[in-house]
Amino acid sequence: MNHFYCQIPNRGRIRVGGADATRFLQDLVTGDIETASETRSVYACLLTAQGRFLHDFFVTKQGDDYLLECEGGTRAEDLAARLKRYKLRSAVTLDCEPAVTIYAGTGPVPDGNYADPRHADLGWRGPIAPTDSTQADFSRWDDHRIRLCIPDGSRDLVPEQSLLMENNMDRLHGVSFTKGCFVGQEITARMYHRNLGKKVLMALSFPTTPPAPGTMITDDAGEIGEMRSSSGTVGLAVVKRDAIDRLSAIGIEPL
């Protein structure tokens, strides 16, 4: 395989510092923050109290501070504002950078970056561009991600609606069920242990260009699923579990 890298568009960063930073984050987000380091990233989400998705991010450390690489622009600002609501009297500082440069690629992890914690085949990501790899267009990375059935933030997860257990977050190491409580933990854990999800995020191959995100996938019997992001003739969709076997009849195949 020829290794490549690209710049990931629309990324931001939240810096969380202060004496209470570890406990503050550990009690809020889905990942085990205590395992993050300067070279090891933790993938995590912030949820509503009802267990619905709000934001996802990659957490690393820089000294005693935590860096949350997140979606950029207004999404980064929204994440910072939501974290501030939980701050109360905690000894925590929050600084938001709505626009930062982040690269992702395959092959050995360049110094200053970290392995993508979601999937072993996804490669690495971080702020440093490698000097021994070919830069590619983002579409190549997007195709690679979709074929691995990995959601990309709010492109694939609907804020205040999506449930983690219907979007593979347990398999992508986005939730720790051993670290203790986090916001939305009760519903998320119940769905995980009882396998209650009625839908599942799937990577699909289409006979032509896939429908736009948000388009319903249907057949004569009714709704099958709903489109998410796509690249070329492959795409992600949230599919009803009891309708998966109806995909082939309309020319759509699971990858």
User: Which of 141, 166, 187 is at the close of a domain?
Assistant: 141
**Domains: count for the chain:** 2
Whether the pLDDT of residue 59 is over 90: the answer is yes
Residues 17 and 136 in one domain: yes
For the stretch 144-192, pLDDT in tens is 999 999 999 999 999 999 999 999 999 999 999 999 999 999 999 999 9
Residues 6 or more apart whose Cβ sits within 8 Å of residue 118: 43, 150, 172, 173, 174
Residues 26 and 123 in one domain: yes
The CATH number of whichever domain residue 126 belongs to comes to 3.30.1360.120
Q: Report if residue 206 sits inside a domain.
A: yes
Q: Report if residue 238 sits inside a domain.
A: yes
Residues 136 and 203 in one domain: no
The pLDDT value recorded for residue 40 is 97
> Mean pLDDT over residues 16-24, rounded?
98
- pLDDT band (50, 70, 90) for residue 2: confident
d(C-alpha 172, C-alpha 120), whole Å: 10
Q: Report if residue 112 sits inside a domain.
A: yes
User: Which of 95, 121, 141 is at the close of a domain?
Assistant: 141
Q: Report if residue 192 sits inside a domain.
A: no
Q: Report if residue 154 sits inside a domain.
A: no
The pLDDT value recorded for residue 1 is 62
Residues 109 and 204 in one domain: no
Give me the domain span that covers residue 219: 199-254
Phi–psi pair at 120, nearest 5 degrees: -60, -30
Helix (H, G, I), strand (E, B) or coil at 220: coil
Q: Report if residue 76 sits inside a domain.
A: yes
Residues 112 and 22 in one domain: yes
| DSSP β-bridge partners for residue 47 | 53
Q: Do 83 and 68 meet the contact criterion of CB atoms below 8 Å apart?
A: no
Residues 128 and 213 in one domain: no
d(C-alpha 237, C-alpha 143), whole Å: 14
Residues 32 and 130 in one domain: yes
Pairing of β 93-105 and β 124-126: antiparallel
Whether the pLDDT of residue 114 is over 90: the answer is yes
Task: Among 57-61, 91-95, 98-102, 106-110, name the one with the lowest average pLDDT.
Answer: 106-110
User: Which of 93, 110, 141 is at the close of a domain?
Assistant: 141
- pLDDT band (50, 70, 90) for residue 132: confident
For the stretch 195-214, pLDDT in tens is 889 999 999 999 999 999 99
Residues 229 and 103 in one domain: no
Q: Report if residue 171 sits inside a domain.
A: no
Residues 24 and 132 in one domain: yes
d(C-alpha 59, C-alpha 188), whole Å: 20
For the stretch 231-247, pLDDT in tens is 999 999 999 999 999 99
By percentage, how much of the chain surpasses pLDDT 90? 96
Q: Report if residue 47 sits inside a domain.
A: yes
- The predicted model scores a pTM of 0.96
Q: In the sheet that 199-205 helps form, which strands lie side by side, from edge to edge?
A: 216-219, 222-231, 234-240, 199-205, 253-254
Q: Comparing C-alpha atoms, which of 165, 160, 190 is closest to residue 175?
A: 165
Residues 121 and 23 in one domain: yes
Residues 223 and 108 in one domain: no
Mean pLDDT of the chain: 97
d(C-alpha 189, C-alpha 194), whole Å: 8
The pLDDT value recorded for residue 99 is 98
Across 7-17, b (16+ Cβ under 10 Å) vs e yields bbeebbbbbbb
Residues 6 or more apart whose Cβ sits within 8 Å of residue 252: 204, 205, 206, 207, 217
Residues 135 and 238 in one domain: no
- pLDDT band (50, 70, 90) for residue 133: confident
